[in-house]
Amino acid sequence: MYQPESKQTKLKILVADDHELALYATINVIKQEYALSEIIQAQTTQDALQKASNNELDLAVIDLNMPELTGGTAQVESGIQLLKALMRSHKNLNIVVQTATPRCLVRLKPAISSHEGGFTVADKSLPMHEMLTRVDWSLKGVIYTPPEIRSGLEFKPEWLEVMQLAFKEGLQDTAIAKQMNVAERTVRHYWSKIYDVLRVYPDNGKNLRIQTEIRAREEGLID
């Protein structure tokens, strides 16, 4: 059975989740174990970033599927961008990510590897005592990622940007090159690397880009 390091530890904790029931459930469980802690809550990524910048946090518990603004649509990509921003501006922040789609965190492998604080992932299907274990680990500076991430594909940021621009914004290579401020031949070179890493090769009767998009979604590289 889980036993926290100290129930009397005074911590400042940010809990971000756009679903009120999940938000309050997480807060209540944390309060039971860390009764003296100050809990700060957020329901959008913008609010989470603002509160993180205004407070000296010990821990952030983040739902990966979040809207950017109030009334917006919850998206994994918004959560990914929030985590990137938090790790960039708060290099020692301990983080717990709650998600039903841990494979998507493969996009953060370089950032996680260089992060100096704890970083753990809690699948939303886990019992609450298991989630509290992830909290404890993160506070101790542990890096814990599920097998889907540890064995995931290594992708450079510019390759991910190419796929985001192509598959989410519908841009052609010329427009992608302009957006990224690179030559069009550089974009074509990125595509060749993407095909190879995803093991997508020319096949009669099949569209290479469509097959690439399918594989990228399977690997959690795009929503």
**Cα–Cα distance for residue pair 111/109, rounded to 1 Å:** 6
CATH number, domain containing residue 46:
3.40.50.2300
Last residue of a domain, one of 150, 179, 201: 150
Q: What angle do CA 83, 33, 6 make, to 5 degrees?
A: 95
Give the pLDDT of residue 1: 38
Q: Per the domain annotation, does 4 fall within a domain?
A: no
Domain containing residue 202? 157-218
Give the pLDDT of residue 3: 44
Domain co-membership, 59 together with 167: no
Give the pLDDT of residue 40: 97
Q: Which two tokens stand for residue 67?
A: 């809207």
Last residue of a domain, one of 150, 173, 194: 150
Give the pLDDT of residue 151: 62
Last residue of a domain, one of 125, 150, 175: 150
Closest CA to 93 of 121, 111, 77, 117: 117
What is the SS3 assignment for 23-40?
A: HHHHHHHHHHHCCCCEEE
- The structural domain count of the chain equals 2
Cα 147 from chain centre: 15
Give the pLDDT of residue 218: 87
Give the pLDDT of residue 4: 46
Domain co-membership, 30 together with 71: yes
**Cα–Cα distance for residue pair 140/128, rounded to 1 Å:** 19
CATH number, domain containing residue 194:
1.10.10
One digit per residue, pLDDT tens: the chain, 223 residues? Answer: 344 445 557 899 999 999 999 999 999 999 999 999 999 999 999 999 999 999 999 999 999 999 999 999 999 999 999 999 999 999 999 999 999 988 889 888 888 878 888 999 998 888 888 899 999 999 988 888 877 776 666 778 899 999 999 999 999 999 999 999 999 989 988 888 888 788 887 777 788 899 999 999 888 888 7
Q: Per the domain annotation, does 123 fall within a domain?
A: yes
Burial class (CB in 10 A: 0-12, 13-18, 19+), 21: exposed
